[in-house]
């Protein structure tokens, strides 16, 4: 059982269990209480001493977080700095790494390695379009997702290497088996270095060990520089087109290596797979690479090359140039097969069917509407013309009678 840690330095994460320890970082399995899921917590052993380094790490971690939306890049959930000054990353939890699969099962089938190469090269191509370098591509940093898809991990911590390079007492810990030759010459990192590391990783998955690497022991720095001058031998059962693509990526001169897009398309063309091209983002951010440590033991060696005070990352990959004439024609890279053009689009014929429905009768002619008759006026109950006439007649008759009586009385 892996040792656990009772106190979590990251708020919201509990049940920390050590998954792996490396030279630079420790990886824990943790439980995120807010959403109820298990995650991978990677805490770097180094510390960020000032606020400037902390802001720089967060800026680069955000740039790497933009890559987590790629289907073949490990999702980055959170990043920050602990109270003790240790930077950390919270990532999705995967089931295993290809370094562990290589150790347990030996060389992998060509079809599986070809699929890994296409997907990881597509992830590197997307990162290079964003101006992000990985600088630590190796089998230990290619993980196997729980759904069976390979994903590239450790975008997020390589900027710490550049921060500590300013100190002359700090030694760079490389992975010599997968590091490009220019890394031993203290040259600035480029996109071509990621292509070399991916080609060396694919060769190791096919062969069981890195290219030009001895079966036993770790060579010295002088021996490693000499190993890069040796040709890459063929592997039994591997198609020549795949071998030629790997040789192009393992070229000793960075200017002769292809881009990640070319390596992806060449590996896909060898199997007849059409890879959809992702559109670049509207605002690419040039940034320094991010790397970390892995959960397995890689053949490592401490190297202290001559370091310049200031390093600059080149965000432009050198154009690919053809192999030198010394390469036999059988090893020359063949162009991808041209797909047959699709037949011209034929419009669908228009149907002439008309239903047998009688025509609707024409609408009646328009006529102005007749205005409604006004309502009858209410009866004038206060006039009573008939009653008034009768009353007058009766009054006049009474007066006439009264006058007649008065005349009669006077006569009498």
What is the C-alpha separation between 363 and 102, in angstroms, rounded? 84
Sign of CA dihedral 402, 407, 408, 410: positive
Of 105, 102, 106, 117, which Cα lies nearest the Cα of 243? 117
Helix (H, G, I), strand (E, B) or coil at 404: helix
User: In terms of C-beta density within 10 A (0-12 exposed, 13-18 middle, 19 or more buried), how is residue 184 classed?
Assistant: middle
Active-site residue (options: 135, 212, 257, 264): 135
Q: Does the active-site annotation cover 29?
A: no
Residue 19: CB atoms within 10 A of its CB come to: 16
Euclidean distance between CA atoms 92 and 266, whole angstroms: 30
Taken in order 234, 235, 239, 241, the sign of the CA dihedral is negative
Tell me which residue of 125, 52, 57 sits closest to 89, measured CA to CA.
57
Identify the CA nearest to 260 among candidates 339, 197, 188, 179.
Answer: 197
Residues marked active site are found at 135
């Amino acid at each position: 059982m892996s040792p656990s840690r009772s106190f979590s330095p990251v708020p919201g994460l509990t049940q920390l269990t050590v998954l792996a320890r490396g030279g630079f970082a420790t990886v824990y399995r943790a439980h995120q209480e807010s959403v109820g899921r298990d995650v991978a917590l990677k805490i770097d052993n180094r510390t960020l001493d000032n606020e400037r380094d902390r802001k720089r790490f967060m800026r680069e971690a955000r740039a790497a977080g933009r890559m987590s939306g790629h289907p073949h890049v490990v999702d980055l959930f959170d990043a920050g700095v602990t109270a003790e000054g240790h930077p950390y990353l919270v990532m999705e939890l995967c089931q295993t790494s290809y370094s562990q699969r290589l150790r347990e099962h030996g060389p992998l089938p060509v079809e599986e390695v070809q699929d890994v190469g296409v997907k990881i090269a597509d992830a590197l191509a997307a990162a290079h379009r964003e101006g992000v370098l990985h600088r630590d591509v190796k089998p230990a940093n290619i993980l196997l997702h729980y759904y069976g898809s390979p994903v590239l991990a450790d975008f997020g911590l390589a900027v710490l290497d550049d921060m500590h390079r300013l100190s002359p007492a700090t030694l760079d810990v490389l992975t010599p088996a997968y590091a490009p030759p220019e890394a031993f010459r203290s040259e600035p990192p480029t996109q071509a270095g990621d292509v070399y590391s991916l080609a060396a990783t694919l060769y190791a998955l096919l062969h069981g060990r890195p290219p030009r690497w001895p079966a036993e022991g770790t060579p010295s720095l002088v021996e490693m520089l000499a190993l890069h001058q040796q040709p890459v031998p063929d592997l039994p059962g591997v198609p020549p087109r795949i071998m030629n693509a790997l040789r192009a990526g393992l070229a000793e001169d960075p200017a002769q290596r292809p881009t990640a897009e070319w390596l992806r398309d060449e590996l896909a063309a060898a199997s007849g797979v059409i890879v959809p091209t992702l559109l670049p983002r509207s605002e690419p951010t040039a940034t320094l690479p991010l790397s970390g440590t892995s959960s397995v033991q890689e053949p490592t060696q401490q190297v202290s090359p001559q370091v310049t005070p200031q390093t600059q990352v080149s965000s432009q990959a050198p154009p690919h140039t053809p192999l030198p004439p010394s390469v036999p024609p059988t090893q020359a890279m063949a162009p991808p097969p041209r797909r047959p053009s699709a037949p011209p689009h034929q419009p669908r014929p228009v149907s002439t069917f008309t239903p047998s429905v009688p025509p609707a009768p024409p609408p009646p002619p328009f006529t102005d509407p007749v205005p409604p008759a006004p309502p009858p006026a209410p009866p004038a109950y206060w006039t009573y013309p008939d009653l008034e006439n009768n009353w007058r007649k009766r009054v006049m008759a009474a007066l006439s009678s009264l006058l007649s009586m008065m005349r009669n009385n006077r006569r009498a």
